[in-house]
Every structure is written in C-alpha cells, then in structure tokens.
Chains A and B, each alone.
Chain A
Amino acid sequence: MNKSPDSVEAALRAPEPTLADDEFSENVLARLPPQRRRTAARRWTVAGSAAWAAR
C-alpha cells in the first residue's frame, strides 16, 4: 500500500530501539590499553627530582 506523507514523516520521527547491554561496554573496556598508573608516575617524579637535585 502507498504511504501517506504524514505516515512517512511519523515513521521517520519514530523513536529508535534501545541498544544497550553490559557486554558491549565490557568489550570496549577490554580493548583499552592498560590503565595509567598514577602512583608509579609519582614515584618516578620523586626519584627524578632527587636525581636532579643530587647532580
């Protein structure tokens, strides 16, 4: 059957399905590089500062 312009417009504006699941976000997180280690960075900074001061 032919669709009326109004029904086409309504279909275009119809809400889309919700596509959300834990598996998706878990898969994305699993593909990220290892997390930056702030404590390691701080130690390096302290050690670096000490080395610099001892020069």
Chain B
Amino acid sequence: MSDSDTALVARVIANDDRGAFELLVRRHQSAVRNFLRRLARNDSERANDLAQETFIKMYQGLHTYRGSARFTTWLFRIAYHTFLNDQRGRHANEEFDDDAHGSVTDTTAHTANALDVDRALERLPVRQRAVFDLHYKKGMTHSEIAEALELPLGTIKSDLVRGHEKLKEWLTGGTHEQIA
C-alpha cells in the first residue's frame, strides 16, 4: 500500500473517508490484536473486542493526532489504555491478580521447566507484558515505548531488565545474567 498512515488519517479527518479508515484498520489490526491478546493473557475473544474498541476510539480521536509521534505509537497508546480501562472493571488490582499465578519462587519450584516463553510472558505484570511486546514483537525503541505507554524512559528500561530476570529464573533455572 502506497498511502502513508498520515495521508490516510488526513483523508479521514477531511472527508470522513471510510475507505481510508478501513485501510488503517486492515493495516494495523494484526499488530493491535496481537498486542491486546498478549495483555489479555491469550484471551483472543476479549482481545478482539478490545481491538474493535481501540479502532473506534482511534476514529473518534483522529482529530487529536498531531503527527508528532508515529501513528502506531499513538495507536498502541489507545490500545493500552483501552485494556487498562477494561481491566479496572474486572479487577480492582491487576498486580494482585498476577500474584494469583504464583510468585517467582513458586513457579521455579513447581513448573519452571514446563513453561515456554509465551507462558512465562503471561506471568509478567501487565505493564511488563506491554513493554516486552512493543519492544520484541513490534520493534519499538525504548523512547517510543515510553511515549506509547506514557511512562518515564527509566521505567521502560527497568521493566525490561526485571522482566528478563524473571524470565531467566523461570526458564533457565535461576541465574541473574542478562538475556540481552
């Protein structure tokens, strides 16, 4: 497709061009649905519902997109907040919910060897899941992730380090070397 995201956005804003909007949805639906599936711990039905909501919010908020950030950075910000809003309605505290999946020690003791990387990622807190997905699957830089999630750059870097330490413990037997 030759039209840039910015050009398509301009067409939607100027003429309410539904064809341009559909192109944006088709172009980005896979990345957004995968991102939300990661956050929703592989609940694809919930992820698809939230992805639809994300694109509706994108449509409603297109006039606020200034083009200073990459379009995808702005889009993932909407997706992340859509997930968090939904999560607040389901659980008062996501981190508490994460605890129910077992601590690092519990996991290491019982099932570490059986976990694959995706299952291990599901055990990370939601913010770290978002950071890992945007970094490894979407190829975003630390700065872009910080902008997308509206978090300090240092938080993104420490989430990656701590997440790596946890994955290392769960998957390789507990050393604290950096994976990357």
Binding site for A on B (CB under 8 A): 15-16, 18, 21-22, 25-26, 29-31, 33-34, 37, 48, 51-52, 55-56, 59, 112-113, 116-118, 132, 136-137, 167-168, 171-173, 177, 179-180
Q: Smallest Cβ distance from B9 to chain A, in angstroms?
A: 15
Task: Give complex CA distance A3, B168 in Å.
Answer: 9
Choose one: B15, B56, B167; the contact of A28 (CB below 8 Å): B56
Which residues on the B side are within 8 Å of A9 (C-beta)? 179-180
Pair B171/A3 contact, Cβ less than 8 Å? yes
Among A2, A13, A18, which residue has its beta carbon within 8 angstroms of that of B30?
A: A18
- In the docked arrangement, what's the CA distance between A54 and B25, Å? 47
> Given the complex of chains A and B, what is the CA–CA distance between A35 and B34 in angstroms?
29
Number of A-B residue pairs, CB cutoff 8 Å, is 77
**Contact, CB under 8 Å: B167 / A16:** no
* Docked complex Cα distance between A8 and B151 (Å): 26
Which A residues fall within an 8 A CB radius of B? 1-5, 8-9, 11-13, 15-20, 24-25, 27-29, 31-32, 35-36, 38
* Inter-chain contact B179/A5, CB cutoff 8 Å: yes
Contact flag A5-B172 (CB < 8 Å), given A11-B116, A17-B34: yes
Return 7 A-B CB contacts under 8 Å, by A number.
Answer: A8-B171, A12-B132, A16-B30, A18-B30, A24-B33, A28-B25, A28-B55
Cross-chain contact A2 with B117 (CB below 8 angstroms): no
Given A19-B30, A24-B33, A24-B51, A13 contacting B171 (CB threshold 8 A): no
Say yes or no: A8-B179 contact (C-beta < 8 A), given A13-B136, A38-B15: yes
Question: In the complex, which residues of chain B have a beta carbon less than 8 angstroms from the beta carbon of A28?
Answer: 25, 52, 55-56
* In-complex Cβ contact of A25 among B16, B25, B31 (8 A): B25
On chain B, the residues within 8 Å of A13 by CB distance are 136
Also in contact, A8 and B172, with CB within 8 A (given A24-B48, A25-B29): yes
Find A11's partner among B31, B59, B117 (CB 8 Å cutoff). Answer: B117
Evaluate whether A2 and B52 lie within 8 angstroms (CB atoms) in the complex, with A20-B26, A36-B16 already known. Answer: no
- Complex Cα–Cα for A12 and B124 (A): 14
